[in-house]
Amino acid sequence: MTRKNVKVSIRHLYKIFGGDPKGALAKVREGMTKAELLEQTSHVLGLQDINVDMKEGEITVIMGLSGSGKSTLIRHLNRLIEPTAGEVLVNGEDILSWNDAQMRTLRRESMSMVFQNFALLPHRTVLENAGMALATRGKARRDYEGEANKWLDRVGLAGQGEQYPHQLSGGMQQRVGIARALASNSDIMLMDEAFSALDPLIRTDMQNLLLELQDELHKTIIFITHDLDEALKLADHLVILKDGAVVQQGQPQEILLNPADPYIEEFVADINRARVLRVRSVMTDRKPDAPIDGEVAPGDNLESIIALAEGNLDRVFDVKNEGETLGYIDMKSVVQALVPRRVEAAG
């Protein structure tokens, strides 16, 4: 397996809102909590010692409840918000040391953003909105029209280029936003609650579209959401925030199977584990003594394995990918994985 490079790295990132953030930072580093900081100094602790590596070609999902700091965090990646302390590395370079010209180049060419409220220009056509990133680089419409139309076609908006945003549904407007990000040909896509304003069925369609495009394009995507189902569906790497700090991060399957904190345990309590957990997270490399009853794929969910076993707890399956045996899964392991693990609260 090819080792993926780290595309974006956040190191010891702090953000404190208030009149004297540096002074407040010293108190936080001495152990003052977010609530204490607000009560005693009237400063708000937005982010606390964030350390996250975002790998090239993967979807990193940052999730948490309202006020957890996730939208504050993503705005540090393109310096729409300046940190109180820490580093933001893109391709190994600390962009906090960059000047305005370097940051404009980053935002125009290397890092696109898809917003929750679509952020389309109402007086411009769908085609012109899709080509906006290219227009800001000085390209005339005739020069970017082909590229914009290509991505409009790819997101299911063929023939809609001369429409205006108000003539489109919410789901279609967000497709324009995604086409605009793709037309920019940026390596990194920032998506801040990009699907949260959409109806559930349209939201599912957009999630599926994003995964389909990602299979083809292998962008580095940083996706913000407050929805755990969405996070588990999209994430290669999941980062869960609470009160501005990382509570747990890692592969979604691992977090679901091994919550490290009672807060995470509560977060995942209502998830349909059979539908979310995959064979690859439960299988073993130890060949069982029992006969093999069939083949399954590592990406199959446990719900499909339960159906395949027809309720028989003695069934054992070979886990194969392109004809190669990767491991084995038995129904006892499946049932055990469906039982949530209990976490003891810190004393």
Task: Assess if residue 29 is contained within a domain.
Answer: no
Can you tell me the distance from the alpha carbon of 290 to that of 278, in angstroms, rounded to the nearest whole number? 22
Task: Assess if residue 111 is contained within a domain.
Answer: yes
Same domain, 249 and 142: yes
Task: Assess if residue 30 is contained within a domain.
Answer: no
Tell me the pLDDT band of 288, cut-offs 50, 70 and 90.
confident
Please check whether residue 297 is in contact with residue 326, taking contact to mean a CB–CB distance below 8 angstroms. no
H-type alpha helices, the chain: 21-29, 34-41, 70-77, 100-105, 126-130, 132-135, 141-154, 170-183, 200-217, 228-234, 252-257, 262-268, 273-276, 279-282, 302-309, 331-337
CATH number for 257: 3.40.50.300
Task: Enter the pTM of the model.
Answer: 0.86
Task: Assess if residue 12 is contained within a domain.
Answer: no
Same domain, 202 and 260: yes
* pLDDT above 80 (res 341): no
Burial (CB < 10 A; 0-12, 13-18, 19+), residue 347, is exposed
Query: What's the pLDDT at 133?
Result: 85
Question: Which residue is it, tokens 């540090």?
Answer: 76
Task: Assess if residue 1 is contained within a domain.
Answer: no
* pLDDT above 60 (res 347): no
Over residues 56-105, the pLDDT tens digits come to 999 999 998 888 999 999 999 999 999 999 999 999 999 999 999 999 99
Q: How many domains are contained in the chain?
A: 2
Task: Please provide the size of the chain in residues.
Answer: 347
Task: Assess if residue 31 is contained within a domain.
Answer: no
Same domain, 254 and 300: no
Q: Is 105 helix (H, G, I), strand (E, B) or coil?
A: helix
Give the structural domain span for 207.
53-268
Same domain, 257 and 141: yes
- Of 268, 301, 326, the position where a domain reaches its end is 268
Same domain, 140 and 260: yes
Both tokens of 181, joined, read 């990000």
- Of 268, 286, 304, the position where a domain reaches its end is 268
